[in-house]
Amino acid sequence: MRQKKISLGEFKTILPYLKKYRVQYTLGFLCLLVVDAAQAVIPQFIRGAVDLITQGDFRWFSVFRYCAAMLAAMLFVASGRFLWRRFIHGSSRRIEAELREDLFAHLLAMSYDFYQKNKIGDLMARAINDIGAVQNSLGWGLVTLVDGTIMASSILVIIFIQDSGTAAMAVLPLPFVTAAILLFGRAMGKLFHRAQETYSVMSDTVQETFAGIRVIKSFVKEWWFIKRFGKTNDDYRDANMSLVRLYGGFFPFVSFLAGLTTLILLLAGGRRVVLGYLSPGSLVALFSYLQMLIWPLMGAGFMVNMIQRGAAGMARINDIFRTEPGIQNVPGASGVPPRSGAESDPPAIDIRNLSFAYVSESGARPVLENITVSVPGGTSLGILGRTGSGKSTLLKTFVRMVDPPEGSVFVRGVDVRLWDMSALRGLFGVSPQDSYLFSDTIKNNIGYGMNQVSGPEAPAGAEAPGGNRAAAETREGSALVKAAELAALSRDMESFAAGWETLIGERGLTLSGGQKQRVAIARALLSRPGILVLDDSFSAVDAETERRILDGILGGRKAEGKTTIIVSHKVSTLSAADRVVVLESGKITEYGTPAELLSGGEFFARMAELQRLGESGAGESRG
């Protein structure tokens, strides 16, 4: 696979962050200048002291004066280093945190299809490893760039002023160092980009393995995933070893060239001291300056490494920032839908000749064709269909998880494309098919999203005007209990060791399938949504409990004029709905009341008969 060329222009994304902390960076670089100035003057004190001692006729007070000056300079160096680290490294850490927060917010804004194309492990690697590389380039990378440039320039000017002939001989190896740095940086960027890519693959392998640990253990496939991880781990090791080999060859080479400068100075400078053209103190000072020059030479390697790593990491982060959400608010989208006098009481959901197809590289794949159905407010609609008939896609069009064609899906009389997406999705309470739960307490899983609800349909206690927190918490507790009772969870609470505060593990690992579904139902009910969607939410719930839940939910919501959508493969579940839609290959093949469909002899009736026979057979077996 051809690698993307890494450019320092990737850092343009960072400019607004640097501008925000420009004062801190300016102060940090000023402190860095103080440190460099103090370091540059110390060899001059050494030169004066050595020359004074070699003359033989001196007073110790004069030597102590040089020592005191050096001590003061070293105090400036120590103080300046503390301050520039605080200003520059502190700012780079803050930028790192803000960049990661902005990346996280951008990822949350991405559409559903983005996560079908990008793996979670890779996204996590970019948010952690790549942003860490960017932070290093904004900290140590900038420091070594500025410090190395200032120190190298200052030292070269000083030694040429002090003895141009000796300096010219001593710096002969330096052009080779410059060439090595340029070649090193170009190769480093490519190798680091490869290392980051292999790290993403390894991270994704780990994430996928642990997310599917139940399946892995049930099929006794641990050995296969160990082998798979070993392959990605070896690839990551090999990519880093390529970096290490390049990095390990560069610094010995620079150290060798630095040693050559010392050797040349010893030969050329020593000869000039013997001939009387150069004082012993000046030769010692030159040695000190050349030793100080080694750091900028070595630092250039560090700088190239960190800047290239940061550029490679920034390129991968920018790939995400440059990806726009596939579904966005249109200009003028409103959180409060406009209503005309002619439509004072429009249907809760109105679908008009909806056709939808997923577009991929292989072409468009029709999923829904000419769907027309209206769901009045305060009623319930059931949806039945085989796997792949378009049920899930139809539900996604309601809340713009996929974008329906303009003028095809209306919520409360307004095209969903004209709604503000947050307001639109806030109208819905969804108990999803996969019953996703967070690694938290039962209480917090049910209460998730309560404080985000606003408006006339917000649950009591969702907001607490006047700061009456205790009263709000009491109302919230009552709402939680009521939602749990409607979802038939109250009896289960007695079996949980910590009751409401029971930790349920990642993705509800410690709960049964039916308990997870009922927690998800309670969570959807708590927000008291105008439109409730139960997407196959009773597949793991027994018939008696299902009937009790549906009776409680539908009776109360109908009295409040709220709408309910029920998707299920079980006819017994859909029999509680006012109307039922049957989908077949993306088309409506049946529509009517459950009684009408049972007498129609079509798919709904056949499914009812098959399920009745299945239940009868199971009952006879138990008998």
Contact 561, 347 (CB under 8 A): no
pLDDT at position 617 is 56
Encode pLDDT of 86-110 as tens digits.
999 999 999 999 999 999 999 988 8
Question: Dihedrals φ, ψ of 563, to 5°?
Answer: -105, 145
Outline where DSSP puts E strands in 294-379.
Answer: 349-360, 363-375
Q: Is the pLDDT assigned to residue 452 strictly greater than 70?
A: no
Question: At which residue do the structure tokens 């050329």 appear?
Answer: 268
**What phi-psi label fits residue 528: left (phi over 0), alpha (psi between -120 and 50 degrees) or beta?**
left
Kindly give, in sequence order, each residue whose CB lies less than 8 Å from that of residue 131, ignoring residues fewer than 6 positions away: 96, 99, 100, 103, 313, 317
Q: Which two tokens stand for residue 31?
A: 């402190």
Say whether 345-622 and 88-321 share the same fold: no
Contact 531, 565 (CB under 8 A): yes
**Band (191; pLDDT cuts 50, 70, 90):** confident
* CATH code for the domain defined by 88-321: 1.20.1560.10
What share of the chain in percent tops pLDDT 90? Answer: 28
Rounded alpha-carbon distances, angstroms, from residue 398 to 277, 349, 492, 590: 90, 8, 33, 21
What is the SS3 assignment for 498?
Answer: coil
Model pTM score: 0.76
**Sheet with 587-592, edge to edge strand ranges:** 428-431, 531-535, 563-567, 380-385, 579-584, 587-592
**Band (355; pLDDT cuts 50, 70, 90):** very high
Question: At which residue do the structure tokens 């079996």 appear?
Answer: 495
Q: How far apart are CA 533 and CA 348, in angstroms?
A: 12
Element (H, E) at 564: strand 563-567
Q: How far apart are CA 575 and CA 326, in angstroms?
A: 37
Q: Which amino acid is at 567?
A: V
Mean pLDDT for 506-515 is 78
Q: How far apart are CA 198 and CA 574, in angstroms?
A: 49
Stretch among 174-178, 231-235, 378-382, 457-461 having the lowest mean pLDDT: 457-461
Mean pLDDT for 474-486 is 79
pLDDT at position 582 is 94
pLDDT at position 57 is 67
What share of the chain in percent tops pLDDT 70? Answer: 89
* Best CA proximity match to 375, nearest among 403, 400, 410: 410
Element (H, E) at 383: strand 380-385
Q: Which amino acid is at 449?
A: G
- The length of the chain is 623
pLDDT at position 447 is 86
Q: Which two tokens stand for residue 155?
A: 């030292």
Identify the CATH assignment for 345-622 out of 3.40.50.300, 3.30.1490.100, 2.60.40.420, 3.10.620.30.
Answer: 3.40.50.300
Q: Find the DSSP H helices in 456-598.
A: 469-486, 490-493, 513-526, 543-559, 571-574, 594-598
Q: How far apart are CA 184 and CA 194, in angstroms?
A: 16
Rg of the chain (C-alpha set):
36
CA angle 10, 13, 18 (to 5 degrees): 115
Question: At which residue do the structure tokens 């490679």 appear?
Answer: 312
pLDDT at position 61 is 78
* Domain boundaries along the sequence of the chain: 88-321, 345-622
What is the SS3 assignment for 394?
Answer: helix
Q: Which two tokens stand for residue 132?
A: 């860490």
Beta bridge partners of 366: 357
Encode pLDDT of 25-49 as tens digits.
999 999 999 999 999 999 988 888 8
Q: Is the pLDDT assigned to residue 465 strictly greater than 70?
A: no
492-523 in b/e form (b: 16+ CB < 10 A) is beeebeeebebbbeeebeebeebbbbbbbbbb
Looking at mean pLDDT, say which of 60-69, 128-137, 499-508 comes out highest.
128-137
Mean pLDDT for 607-618 is 74
* Best CA proximity match to 34, nearest among 207, 154, 126: 154
Task: Give CA 411 to chain center in angstroms.
Answer: 32
DSSP symbols for 572-587: HHHTTSSEEEEEETTE
Encode pLDDT of 577-590 as tens digits.
999 999 999 999 99
pLDDT at position 288 is 87
Stretch among 73-82, 197-206, 360-369 having the lowest mean pLDDT: 360-369
Stretch among 447-456, 564-573, 602-611 having the lowest mean pLDDT: 447-456
Torsion of CA 301, 302, 307, 310, to 10 degrees: 140
Encode pLDDT of 134-187 as tens digits.
999 999 888 988 888 888 888 888 888 888 888 888 888 877 777 777 677 667
Task: Give CA 286 to chain center in angstroms.
Answer: 51
DSSP symbols for 397-454: HHTTSS-PPTTSEEETTEEGGGB-HHHHHHHEEEE-TT----SSBHHHHHHTTGGG--
Task: Give CA 277 to chain center in angstroms.
Answer: 65
Q: Is the pLDDT assigned to residue 18 strictly greater than 70?
A: yes
Q: Is the pLDDT assigned to residue 127 strictly greater than 50?
A: yes
**Band (283; pLDDT cuts 50, 70, 90):** confident
Contact 563, 457 (CB under 8 A): no
DSSP symbols for 49-86: HHHHHHHS---HHHHHHHHHHHHHHHHHHHHHHHHHII
Stretch among 97-101, 138-142, 224-228, 336-340 having the lowest mean pLDDT: 336-340
